[in-house]
Structure 1
Amino acid sequence: MSRPIQATINFSSLRKNLQLVRELTGKKVIGVIKADAYGHGAIPVARVLEEQKVDCLAVACIEEAINLREGGIQSPILLLEGFFSEEELPQIEQYQLSTVIRQTEQIDILSRWKGKPFDVWLKIDTGMHRIGFLPHEFSEAYRRLKECPSVRNVVLMTHFSSADEPEKPKTLQQINLFNSLTEGYAEETCMCNSAGIMQWPAAHGDWVRPGVMLYGSSPFIEPHPLDNRLEPVMELTSQIFSIHNLPAGAPIGYGETFITDRPMRIGVVATGYADGYPRHAPSGTPVLVNGQRTRLVGRISMDMLSIDLSHLPNAGIGDTVTLWGKGLPATEVAHHAGTISYELLCNLKRARIKYIDTAE
């Protein structure tokens, strides 16, 4: 048998999360599948979303889009970072892609394009201050795009910086600014990421673009009323392959960051930071052994981690350890590790991928 770390991807949960998006918004849906669908497999995920008649798919860059097209995906695809050079325009035409427009230089390039026109998504920077046109630049950018023969349709969009922190006033400020800038324009609009979908219904606009919530993980730092309606699509598991009974005062792992304060039963699991498990997850981070909760002890190694089996006398070698998934949200693990579930999911490596569909 090969090394036992496995990521099980459940398409039934993916469908249920998409249905929740549709229930909450009633709007057109852009399924965000950049970064290999957040570690879940871009082409398999895209096939399910396409079967569910998602309105559009979104990726970061043209390489990800070409991978989908060559994998047989026919749905509309949006390049969220837009194009980086004039050389990409023939590929955008060939693969029938749409592109975000985020800066004046892109409009200059489009004005020289002699091929077929594209659909474009005009990005307005309402306060994220990452990419997009500042408010005073918006009207001129819009005018130029509408006059450009290379542009077919325009959608107006922005991105929230703090939608996952509802107590902050920033999101409402961004919504109000976007609405004031786009008032009177006939174009469709798109504001909401996952946190916007779940928390800010007034901002749903014409399009929504769920990312992490599609994969059943909450975008929020604190618990949210809708968290329990999300179903984790990925369950990451491995197995115990070694057990030791240690006396009090025994250090565990690199750096001796954990020392037993009593006799303890310690299991070693075939998972480490080279698999994408966060190295900085501290002692006390939860895992499940045969569905029962226990904790990490000691520092994460490249290929292994140690867990406390002292209160689980029946746990043995070969038993299943759930690192995140049903009963243990990736968000909870990420919180212990001082990061976010997005990073855990995207960083997955070396695990065998198994696709299942419990609806079948």
Structure 2
Amino acid sequence: MKQLRRFSLPHFFRPVLFASLFLVTFLFSGCNIPFTDKVVTLPFFEKKPEIALTRMTEKMLTLDTAHSEVDLQTQVNAATQRLNSDMHVTLVGDFDASAAEGAKSTMVLNYTTSLRGFQITVQADSVTIGDNVYLRFTELPSLGIFGLPDLTDQWFMVTPETLADSSLLSFTDALPFGLSVSPASLYGNVTPEQKQQLNAVAQTTAFFRFEERLPDEKVGDANTYHYRVSIDQVALQDFVTEAAIILQDITEEAAPAEEAPTADENADEEANADTLLDTLQNIQVNNLELWIGKKDFYLRKAAVDFTFQSDVAKTGATDGAAQGLPEIDTHADATFLFSNFGQQVDIVAPSDAETFEDFLKQRFSVLGGLGGL
């Protein structure tokens, strides 16, 4: 009986077949090296990480309109007072920095915090047009007999004049780390030339440092490069310092001549910049990942894990209000999503908005009338 001949590949063909299978697996797995967790950049077909980061920075700094979603979770520990709290914040909205009347944005806020067994939830909508901010609370915490039902489902308008004249509200105190920032001073009056100045500063400082390429992922409908990066603290501080100068020039150019900043206001701006720099020094970024669109180089997603330490003794605070404050450790995880780049955004001011100052006057006048009974 005749035996079948055993089939075998020619010796020269075996490495060719192996190389072909390796290449196909490599390409279809998003440039993953087979049987490992390593991802490499394919020459001539993909951009180098440094180039992708540079283009992403330019795209985001010159951006006009987009949709954004933010999810922030923090754990705060004040060791000396045994005070621990958890906070969860989500922000969803759109912004338009190209509007003639100033930057516009809409935002839906969900805020939940737990402290010593108590849970507080606040939900609100906001509309920002130029320097004017419109707020509507849809859910507020119940404070027993001090309920806040009158504050819900009512639009309030807060203007810079209200903030400056009101003894009940301080925009500076309302912002984290004691910063005082006007929406228009940040991006509402930024011209294309000034955006290019900011971009040039970002490219010069180059505070993003590429660390590792991770497996590619699809974010929404976009294929993305997935990188782990670090931040050069010195370069970031240089960028913040230079950007603050550009933004201050924008604010001064937008203000009428008769409203030029006073010496005290300039001193406050310098103090705020110093506070921000001190804050950056106290932030330790544990992990930072970026997802950058392969075609348009927009930042599609960012995830950051960081720790913030606030120590009065370390920052050298000497004012009476700061004495005795505990060291506070904050650990945070934040995720940012961006989409709908360059698409038209329709944002209008609420027609039934009431100034918060008028609202308070009406409520206090009612209480005063009851007190006279």
Answer yes or no: same fold by TM over 0.5: no
Q: Which has the larger radius of gyration?
A: 2
Higher relative strand content: 2
Q: Shorter-chain-normalised TM-score: which range? A: under 0.3
